[in-house]
């Protein structure tokens, strides 16, 4: 998972506008990367992350993000990916 996580961090390194509040990319968690890509990333960014982590892993991370008391997911992204993962991951 570490090499996959490092490759996912490279998505952020190549698109620093996705997480503009830090340059410490080596400390980003899979949850932070997923949240940023779901909220601000392009479809290509999502496809790249899905290719690295897998649909089921992303769905689990998404469920963790949604179940938090305070979710930072944009309502449109939350709705879209809820439907996406319901169709393709479960």
pLDDT the model gives residue 54: 95
Q: What is the DSSP string of 25-88?
A: GGG--HHHHHHHHHHH--HHHHHHHHHHH-HHHHHHHHHHHHHSSS--S-HHHHHHHHHHHHHH
Instruction: Give whole-number Cα distances, 86 to 39, 81, 89, in Å.
Output: 18, 8, 6
pLDDT the model gives residue 61: 97
Average pLDDT, the chain: 94
pLDDT per position as a tens digit, 26-83: 999 999 999 999 999 999 999 999 999 999 999 999 999 999 999 899 999 999 999 9
pTM for the complete prediction? 0.92
The one-character DSSP state at 18 is G
Number of structural domains (the chain) is 1
Give the model's confidence band at 20: pLDDT under 50 very low, under 70 low, under 90 confident, else very high. Answer: confident
Give the model's confidence band at 1: pLDDT under 50 very low, under 70 low, under 90 confident, else very high. Answer: low
Q: Which domain holds residue 37?
A: 2-88
The contacts of residue 32 (CB under 8 Å, 6+ apart) are 19
72: nearest Cα among 34, 46, 43: 34
């Amino acid at each position: 998972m570490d090499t996959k996580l490092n490759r996912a961090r490279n998505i952020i390194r190549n698109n620093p506008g996705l997480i503009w509040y830090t340059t410490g990319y080596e400390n980003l968690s899979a949850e932070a990367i997923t949240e940023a890509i779901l909220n601000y990333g392009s479809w290509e960014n999502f496809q790249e992350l899905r290719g690295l982590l897998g649909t089921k892993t992303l769905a689990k991370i998404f469920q963790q993000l949604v179940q938090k008391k305070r979710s930072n997911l944009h309502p449109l992204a939350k709705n879209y990916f809820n439907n996406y993962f319901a169709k393709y991951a479960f």
